[in-house]
Amino acid sequence: MSTFDIRREGNLTVQDHEDITRMLALSFPSYATGFHGTASWSGMQPETRITASDGAGIAAHAGVKRLFVQTGDSSFANDQLVGAVGMVSVRPDLQGTGLGGALAAAIRGVLDDMAVPFGLLETGAETSGYYERHGWHPLPGTVGSYNGFAIEEPARVVRGHTGWLVLPVASPLEDWPQGDIRWNGQMV
């Protein structure tokens, strides 16, 4: 079951979106009202999906989107290319069985294939250890600003003071630019 499908967003069918949505509603219960029907993303739509399936449907999922984030007071020319990662989840009945580790490796593989300098994500204190276990580095003291998820208030810019993690992919960690992160839009 640890075989992952890597699919570009434009190749997903309506049924694929329904299947992913059902699983995300289970894995993110506090966002369940946002994941309904074919609404398989709650912030920025990913460009690539990483999924594993079993007889009960989607078993594990992550979304990735390449984009430029502003760091510090950088000019447009110095904005940082990242592979933004989000909606990382293992179906609740399978959590703690090792599938999350395989998912983290599959995410890393996609970021390698994209040859992005860094992966970037935000997570809660309770899941930061999962990412750190798989090579992600916390950015203590960094503030990240982004537009809220669809079920919150997407026009409002949210400031997140904790939980930012970066994964060195094609660039070393020391090349990560200093300063706060501005997404200038929603996160995956």
101 residue type, one letter? G
The one segment of 48-56, 127-135, 142-150, 154-162 that binds ligand COA by CB under 6 A: 127-135
- Rule CB under 6 A: choose which of 17, 18, 31, 130 binds ligand COA: 130
Residue sitting closest to ligand COA (CB): 100
Please, are residues 161 and 58 in contact by the beta-carbon 8 Å criterion? no
d(CA 142, CA 129): 18
3-state secondary structure of 112: helix
d(CA 183, CA 160): 11
90-109 binders of ligand COA (CB under 6 A)? 90, 95-101
Of 112, 6, 117, 105, the closest CA to residue 53 belongs to: 6
132-171 binders of ligand COA (CB under 6 A)? 133
Q: Is 46 in the site for ligand COA (CB under 6 A)?
A: no
Q: What are φ and ψ of residue 176, in 5° steps?
A: -65, 125
Question: CB of 138: closest distance to ligand COA in angstroms?
Answer: 12
Q: Is 68 in the site for ligand COA (CB under 6 A)?
A: no
Nearer to ligand COA, 78 or 97 (CB): 97
Q: Is 129 in the site for ligand COA (CB under 6 A)?
A: yes
